[in-house]
Amino acid sequence: MHMHKAFALTVLAGFLLHPSGASGQVPRESTFDCGRISLSPSGKSITYYDLGRGFRFEFPADWVGNRVILSDPADNACTSPFHCPSQILVNPLLAASDPRFYVSEGAMVTGTEAVNGLQWTALSWPNGRRGYYTYRDGVAIEFIAMPFGKSRAPSSTALAAMTQILSSFSFLDDAARLDRQIASLRTGQKLGSLTIERIVPGKGGFGGDMAKVEFSGRLKLTGTVGLESTMGGGTSGYFFVESHRGNAAAIPQLSCPVEDVENILPRRVTFSNQEFAQQQFGKHNWYDAEATVVVEKVVETFSSGGVGASVSARLVGVPEKNKTPP
């Protein structure tokens, strides 16, 4: 299964199990990794704008959405308190060649449609899902309208929204796209407060990383050191989460013209030397305490999901920390 689809369906399952009052958890407007969902200037539609993966489209103004799911809160095929609105999944992927990932999803091709100069492959699934797929210049995208209630088919509302999405869809020729930003990086380049030491290209596509970027230099960061329990009885390993605004400029990150600094999620840095981290913070099943840490050998791993990266680093020292977690 396409990795973004697996994630999308997981989110979808969680969404369907919430009481109807929880539908407000899906915002009408939101900011995500180098993207934004906001009301259009006309007020008659909502614009989904993703610079990190290079596309935009519009959907109905009375719908709500996040990065992977668009839905109509006025529709409900379930009996209260459950909420099952009309929904469309958004499933993009950066790939050097056309991945045609709908083949591995068990989709049947029912035809092709040309809309605004783009050729879309029309898809259907045995369980009633209907979708459209296209690929151009390194970006693949698929929209899937989910079955509504017991009808085993999308609602007319969802199909109308799909028509609006396709008719307004366009790819963005912008240097902020993740793969183009990675291609422009050079060894010896300064990024944040560190210097790029090595760039390791990835295979991209399904389950593959776009690149790993290794940095030289040290960072002194103030924030929270955490440790989480896992379902199997183990722990996540110690990690650092920034809470000081000055860290944002220090930790290397790619540019994003649409990001609002107030809405950027805190960066998480996983310590690559867990044994040393345990010597500093102790052996716990759970830990959460303010600290100032010094790290080196920072590595950022970029997936095809956007300009944000997962970050790991070697813990060198802990100049300040709370003696016990709160």
Residue 225 belongs to some domain of the structure: yes
Note whether 112 and 212 are same-domain residues: no
Q: For 220-275, how does the pLDDT look when each residue is reduced to its tens digit (9 = 90+)?
A: 999 999 999 888 778 889 999 986 555 666 788 888 876 554 455 568 899 999 99
Strands 268-271 and 310-321: parallel
Note whether 128 and 274 are same-domain residues: no
Check residues 168 and 20 and name the one with the higher pLDDT.
Answer: 168
Q: Which residues pair with 227 in a beta bridge?
A: 287
Residue 326 belongs to some domain of the structure: no
- CATH number of 35's domain: 3.40.1000
Distance CA 219, CA 193 (A): 7
Residue from 65, 63, 67 nearest 55 by CA: 67
Q: Over 24-93, what HEC string results?
A: HHCCCCEEECCEEEEECCCCCEEEEEECCCCEEEEEECCCEECCCEEEECCCCCCCCCECCCEEEEEEEE
Note whether 144 and 75 are same-domain residues: yes
Note whether 240 and 296 are same-domain residues: yes
Average pLDDT over residues 305-318: 89
Please, which pLDDT band fits residue 111 given cuts at 50, 70 and 90?
very high
Express as a percent the part of the chain with pLDDT over 90: 57
Evaluate the omega torsion of the peptide bond into residue 81 and state whether it is cis, within 30 degrees of 0.
yes
Count of domains observed in the chain: 2
The last residue of one of the domains, among 118, 150, 171, is 171
Coarse DSSP helix, strand, coil percentages of the chain, rounded to the nearest 5 percent:
15, 40, 40
Note whether 137 and 184 are same-domain residues: no
The last residue of one of the domains, among 147, 171, 195, is 171
Residue from 113, 149, 154, 148 nearest 133 by CA: 113
Note whether 314 and 251 are same-domain residues: yes
**Can you give the pTM of this predicted structure?**
0.81
pLDDT of residue 6: 39
- Domain hosting 253: range is 178-321
Note whether 108 and 250 are same-domain residues: no
Q: For 23-43, how does the pLDDT look when each residue is reduced to its tens digit (9 = 90+)?
A: 334 456 777 888 899 999 888
Note whether 166 and 228 are same-domain residues: no
Average pLDDT over residues 146-165: 90
- Note every long-range contact of 260-263, with CB atoms under 8 Å and residues 24 or more positions apart, other chains counting: 260/31, 263/31
Give residue 246's region: left, alpha or beta (phi > 0; psi -120 to 50).
Answer: alpha
The last residue of one of the domains, among 128, 156, 171, is 171
